[in-house]
Each structure stands twice: as structure tokens, then as C-alpha cells.
């Protein structure tokens, strides 16, 4: 099939590359010429494990193209996937300006395109415009109207929310738990099934449903995952207040099969480009439809507070924000989660900003997210390619992302480099007893700090 992906970000680039990898002819379109130039030079603009090699192979095979030329990208395509960003606007609504701009361009291209020849009958009847971006219920209809405002020629609509996770995106897309497709007619459903069948040879389902339900599935899934994180963080905070150990509580609680143990880890809360904005978009949909969503509002508020609570722990330890001035803080992890260079809504950036505002120096290491962080924080913090290079004379280490390489560091080396052996672990990477034995003062989430009083006396 001839497919065009509109937007070559984390979703458009990965899914387009995977479609091309099974033999489709894919064009990835973006309005950002720098991204397209990088891709045409064989450089991926994002970090995603395994992606570079897959892009290279399919690009060289002539199945994967990158362009800023809308006419070329839209005219020849049988299916056009809209994968542009839908960030929160200042009111928390999903901002549809990129989606609707793409829709209008698509309408113009359909209007100006010569009549399609060849291909199957359905293909000759009209292109399928697929909304893959996460969008509020009713957006597919707005997209249809925006296209129809430019052309009377036939086209079809489909909603196809994407469930890939950054850091595991290729595997998630190639072997999805499920594919969700929303359509208005059986023919489009059949064409979408045909496209996705090679990805579900594992027997996982393709759910074809009505469009408003497909649009809601993605929000419901992300809202549920966000709820789990805020829930366990709230329990972790209670554990700290009452001297319970959240690890033990987790074990005891998650052995109940009705609860399960997935996605229930306490920490700094969720970040990234999806959970924060999708939870807020649900709240906005509730306000718009006068259907209160107090639970999801609380999920969001708990999440925003969690990173501030953690910062407050640092402040409290040093005896007030004014005492952070002149302190040297090492930071491990900037990305919102391991496996990605994405720092959108990353807790690390909130904490780094607050430390810098308080007058501390922040020396950071992340395996892949220096460039993306620099776009946001500039040189207000230091960046180090080696994790130990952050530690020289540090007054404390703050861990914000659970990258695997942070899990078993050389504690002796850390101790000898740091000015004071103090660790604030926002991801519960270590056993508190081990850190106590290693001579660290150690703060984590939902567990009693170790050696904190001794360190306070020494200060
Ligand atoms: N990132 C994820 O893990 C993920 C997962 C599932 C769903 N989603 C959803 O997918 C959508 C895209 O997310 P993303 O993270 O890939 O976004 P992104 O910001 O990484 O990429 C969006 C791209 O679209 C381009 N663009 C904007 N307007 C355009 C236009 N008119 N024509 C062509 N290109 C245009 C931008 O330049 C950018 O490169 C969002 O709705 C998001 O919620 C994201």
C-alpha cells in the first residue's frame, strides 16, 4: 500500500518505518525541514532503540521516503495517517491546530489530485484519512469537515489510536496487544484490517468499532494507567507518614489477582507527552460535556504534587530553600522514563529548575537526553557523558529516571567522589539497607530514610 505519515515524531516515524518494513511504500511528511534533512542523511531526529537501523534498511531499499513536500506526499497516497502533536492548550484542552491544519492541506491535495487509476476498487473510490494522533471524541468528525470544506471528492475516515510506548515502540507496534480502529463503513474497516493483519499474526485482536468509541479507548487507557501511578504514589506518601514500607505494602497488595502488579510503582509520578495531557484532556471533555471527572482531576493534581513533594524533601534536609544556594547537586536521569530522549513534562526538569532557581548548581547525566534537555533548560545545568563525572564534591545526588545503568553503580567510587554521601532516589532503585551499609544517607519514596539523622547532626 502507498501510505503517508503526517508528522515524523515519536509516533509517525516509528509507525511509518514499521509499515515500510513489511513492504509498504511509505512517505513520512513533516513541516520541520531540519528533521527531514536529518532523516534524508540517515540520522534519526529521536532516540528510540532499534529505530536507526530499521530506518536505514528501509530507506536504502527505496520503501521509506522523507519529505516536506505536501503535494507529493498527499497526492499519491492510498492512506494518510495524521500523527501530529496534540499538546494541551493553556486550559488543558487538546490543541487541535496541527491536526486541523493537516486536514485542510489534505483536503486541498485531494481536490487538486488527478483521478486515481489502478489499484483495487475501494482505493479508486477514495483515500482513507486515518487519525492516529490522540484526540478528543468528535475530532474525527471535525477532521472530516475540514477536509470536506476543501473538496467534494470522496474520501474515507478512520480513527486508529496508537498504543506504543517510547523506549519499546518498535516491539509494541510490531506486536501490539490490540489494534483499535474506528470507522463509519465496513469497506474502510476491511481495508484497515488488511493493513494490520501482518502485525497480529500472534493472534492478538483488531477491534473495529464506531469512531467515538475508538477515540475514547485511548483516553480511557491512558487515564487508567495514570490513575494507577497516582494511586500508588498517594499510598507511598501515607507509608512515609506512618513508617510503613511501600515495597512490603506493594507485595502484600499486588498478590491479589484482582489488583495485579503491573504499572504500580511509586516514584516521581508520570511525565512525557501522553499521560499528563491526556488526563487533562479527559478533564476538559468532562467540563465541556458537564460530566464531572473529579477522579481524573485528582489523578493529575496528585501527579503534579508528587515531584514537588520530592523537591521539598531535599529542601527540608538542607534546612530550607535558602540553604540550597551554593550547593552542588548531581542529577542522574533527565528523560521522563528510561529508553527515550523525550523530556516533555519530565519530573527531572521541574526539580532541576527549582534547584537552579534556589541557587544550587546542577550537574546532570542522562544516557541520551542531553540534547533534548538543552533545548528546554539551556546551559542552566551542566551535562556530563559519564555518570560519575557529575559527582565530584557533590552535596547530594538526585535520581530522577530509572535507567538500568544506574541500578548497580560502584558505591565506593560514588562515596569517594561526593562531598557528602547523600542520595535522593526518586525511583526507588536501591535497597535502603544496602545504602545504609554502604554509608549513604538515603531518601526514597514511600520508605523510611536511612542515616538521615546522623547526616543532619554532621551538617
Ligand atoms: N509519543 C508517544 O509515546 C505517543 C504514543 C501514542 C500516541 N501518541 C500521540 O500521537 C501524537 C503524536 O505524538 P508524538 O509524540 O509523535 O509527537 P511529536 O511532537 O514527536 O511529533 C509531531 C510531529 O508532527 C509535525 N507536524 C506538525 N504539524 C504538521 C503538519 N501540518 N504536517 C506535517 N507535520 C507536522 C511536527 O513537526 C513533529 O515533528 C499525539 O497526539 C500523541 O498524543 C504519542
From CA 409, how far away is CA 31, in angstroms rounded? 42
Count of the separate structural domains present in the chain:
2
Q: Tell me the three cell numbers of residue 272.
A: 512525557
- Is the model's pLDDT at 149 over the cut of 80? yes
- Is the model's pLDDT at 118 over the cut of 70? no
Do 34 and 66 touch, CB atoms closer than 8 A? no
Q: Tell me the three cell numbers of residue 312.
A: 521539598
- Is the model's pLDDT at 454 over the cut of 80? no
* Model confidence band, residue 456 (pLDDT cutoffs 50, 70, 90): low
Average pLDDT estimate for 225-235? 98
Task: Tell me, yes or no, whether 20 and 164 share the same domain.
Answer: yes
- Whether 215 is in a domain gets the answer no
Task: Tell me, yes or no, whether 199 and 307 share the same domain.
Answer: no
Task: Tell me, yes or no, whether 199 and 318 share the same domain.
Answer: no
- Whether 137 is in a domain gets the answer yes
* Model confidence band, residue 114 (pLDDT cutoffs 50, 70, 90): confident
> Hey, how many other C-beta atoms are within 10 angstroms of the C-beta on 283?
22
Between the CA of 394 and the centroid of ligand 1 the distance, in Å, is: 38
- Whether 260 is in a domain gets the answer no
* Best residue for ligand 1 mutational test, from 27, 30, 88 (most atoms within 8 Å of Cβ): 30
Task: Tell me, yes or no, whether 194 and 45 share the same domain.
Answer: yes
Do 385 and 412 touch, CB atoms closer than 8 A? no
pLDDT digits (tens, 9 = 90+) for 324-348: 999 999 999 999 999 999 999 999 9
pLDDT digits (tens, 9 = 90+) for 284-302: 999 999 999 999 999 999 9
The pLDDT, as a whole number, for residue 54 is 97
- Whether 199 is in a domain gets the answer yes
Among 228, 224, 178, residue whose Cα is nearest residue 202:
178
Between the CA of 190 and the centroid of ligand 1 the distance, in Å, is: 26
State which of 209, 225, 258 marks the end of a domain. Answer: 209
- Whether 409 is in a domain gets the answer yes
State which of 183, 209, 235 marks the end of a domain. Answer: 209
Do 391 and 358 touch, CB atoms closer than 8 A? no
Looking at the chain, the number of H-run helices and the number of E-run strands are 18, 14
Q: What is the CATH number of the domain that holds 421?
A: 3.40.50.720
Task: Tell me, yes or no, whether 172 and 306 share the same domain.
Answer: no
Average pLDDT estimate for 147-155? 96
**Long-range own/partner contacts, residues 202-208 (CB < 8 A, 24 or more apart):** 202/175, 204/175, 204/176, 204/177, 204/178, 204/179, 205/178, 205/179, 206/178, 206/179, 206/181, 207/178, 207/179, 207/180, 207/181, 208/181, 208/182, 208/183
Task: Tell me, yes or no, whether 190 and 318 share the same domain.
Answer: no
- Is the model's pLDDT at 113 over the cut of 90? no
State which of 193, 209, 225 marks the end of a domain. Answer: 209
Among 133, 84, 100, 136, residue whose Cα is nearest residue 280:
136
**Protein residues whose CB sits closer than 6 Å to any atom of ligand 1:** 6-12, 29-32, 35, 83-86, 98, 101-102, 133-134, 162, 164, 166, 273-274
* Percent above pLDDT 90 for the chain: 94
Atom of ligand 1 nearest to the CA of 135: 41
Task: Tell me, yes or no, whether 81 and 189 share the same domain.
Answer: yes
Task: Tell me, yes or no, whether 201 and 343 share the same domain.
Answer: no
Task: Tell me, yes or no, whether 179 and 324 share the same domain.
Answer: no
Strand partners, 207: 180
Do 444 and 425 touch, CB atoms closer than 8 A? yes
- Whether 73 is in a domain gets the answer yes
Task: Tell me, yes or no, whether 309 and 201 share the same domain.
Answer: no
Q: Tell me the three cell numbers of residue 138.
A: 468528535
**Residue-level length of the chain:** 459
The pLDDT, as a whole number, for residue 69 is 97
Active site residue 83: no
Atom of ligand 1 nearest to the CA of 166: 3
- Is the model's pLDDT at 121 over the cut of 60? no
* Model confidence band, residue 91 (pLDDT cutoffs 50, 70, 90): confident
Q: Which residues of 288-302 are buried (b: 16+ CB within 10 A; e: fewer)?
A: eeeeebeebbebbeb
Between the CA of 163 and the centroid of ligand 1 the distance, in Å, is: 13
- Whether 313 is in a domain gets the answer yes
The pLDDT, as a whole number, for residue 90 is 87
The pLDDT, as a whole number, for residue 459 is 60
Q: Are strands 79-82 and 422-425 parallel, antiparallel or unpaired?
A: unpaired
The pLDDT, as a whole number, for residue 124 is 56
Average pLDDT estimate for 156-162? 98
- Whether 89 is in a domain gets the answer yes
* Model confidence band, residue 215 (pLDDT cutoffs 50, 70, 90): very high
The pLDDT, as a whole number, for residue 458 is 56
Q: Which domain holds residue 370?
A: 302-458
One of 28, 83, 274, 400 is an active-site residue; which one? 274
Least confident of 119-133, 161-175, 399-413, 416-430: 119-133
Please give the distance of CA 183 from its chain centroid, rounded to a whole number: 26
Between the CA of 95 and the centroid of ligand 1 the distance, in Å, is: 12
From CA 242, how far away is CA 232, in angstroms rounded? 15
Average pLDDT estimate for 397-419? 98
Amino acid at each position: 500500500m502507498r501510505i503517508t505519515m503526517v508528522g515524523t515524531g515519536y509516533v509517525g516515524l516509528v509507525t511509518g518505518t514499521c509499515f515500510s518494513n513489511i513492504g509498504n511504500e511509505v512517505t513520512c511528511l513533516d513541516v520541520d525541514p531540519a528533521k527531514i534533512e536529518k532523516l534524508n542523511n540517515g540520522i534519526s531526529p529521536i532516540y528510540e532503540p532499534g529505530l536507526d537501523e530499521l530506518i536505514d534498511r528501509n530507506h536504502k531499499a527505496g520503501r521509506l521516503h522523507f519529505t516536506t513536500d505536501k503535494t507529493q506526499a498527499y497526492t499519491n497516497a492510498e492512506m494518510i495517517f495524521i500523527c501530529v502533536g496534540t499538546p494541551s492548550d493553556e486550559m488543558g484542552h487538546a490543541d487541535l491546530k496541527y491536526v486541523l491544519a493537516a486536514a485542510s492541506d489534505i483536503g486541498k491535495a485531494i481536490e487538486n489530485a488527478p483521478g486515481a487509476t489502478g489499484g483495487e476498487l475501494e482505493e479508486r473510490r477514495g483515500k482513507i484519512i486515518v487519525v492516529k494522533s490522540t484526540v478528543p471524541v468528535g475530532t474525527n468528525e471535525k477532521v472530516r469537515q475540514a477536509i470536506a470544506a476543501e473538496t467534494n471528492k470522496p474520501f474515507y475516515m478512520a480513527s486508529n489510536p496508537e498504543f506504543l510506548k517510547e523506549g519499546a515502540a518498535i516491539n509494541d507496534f510490531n506486536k501490539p496487544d490490540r489494534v483499535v480502529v474506528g470507522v463509519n463503513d465496513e469497506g474502510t474497516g476491511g481495508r484497515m484490517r488488511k493493513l494490520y493483519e501482518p502485525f497480529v499474526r500472534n493472534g492478538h485482536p483488531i477491534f473495529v468499532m464506531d469512531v467515538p468509541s475508538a477515540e475514547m479507548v485511548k483516553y480511557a487507557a491512558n487515564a487508567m494507567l495514570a490513575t494507577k501511578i497516582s494511586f500508588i504514589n498517594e499510598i507511598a506518601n501515607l507509608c512515609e507518614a506512618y513508617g510503613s514500607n511501600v515495597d512490603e505494602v506493594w507485595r502484600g497488595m499486588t498478590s491479589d489477582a484482582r489488583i495485579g502488579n503491573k504499572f504500580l510503582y511509586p516514584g516521581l509520578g508520570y511525565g512525557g507527552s501522553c499521560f499528563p495531557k491526556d488526563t487533562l484532556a479527559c478533564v476538559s471533555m468532562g467540563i465541556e460535556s458537564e460530566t464531572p471527572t473529579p477522579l481524573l482531576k485528582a489523578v493529575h493534581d496528585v501527579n503534579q504534587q508528587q515531584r514537588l513533594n520530592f523537591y521539598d524533601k531535599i529542601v527540608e534536609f538542607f534546612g530550607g530553600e535558602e540553604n540550597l544556594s551554593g550547593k552542588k547537586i548531581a542529577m542522574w536521569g533527565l528523560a521522563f522514563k528510561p529508553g527515550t530522549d523525550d523530556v516533555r513534562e519530565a519530573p527531572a526538569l521541574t526539580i532541576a529548575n527549582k534547584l537552579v532557581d534556589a541557587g544550587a548548581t546542577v550537574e546532570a547525566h542522562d544516557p541520551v537526553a542531553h540534547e533534548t534537555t538543552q533545548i528546554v533548560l539551556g546551559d542552566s545545568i551542566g551535562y556530563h557523558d559519564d555518570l560519575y563525572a557529575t559527582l565530584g564534591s557533590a552535596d547530594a545526588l538526585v535520581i530522577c529516571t530509572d535507567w538500568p545503568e544506574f541500578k548497580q553503580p560502584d558505591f565506593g567510587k560514588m562515596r569517594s567522589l561526593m562531598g557528602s554521601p547523600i542520595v535522593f532516589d526518586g525511583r526507588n532503585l536501591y535497597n535502603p539497607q544496602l545504602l545504609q551499609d554502604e554509608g549513604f544517607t538515603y531518601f526514597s519514596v514511600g520508605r523510611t530514610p536511612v542515616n538521615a539523622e546522623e547526616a543532619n547532626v554532621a551538617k
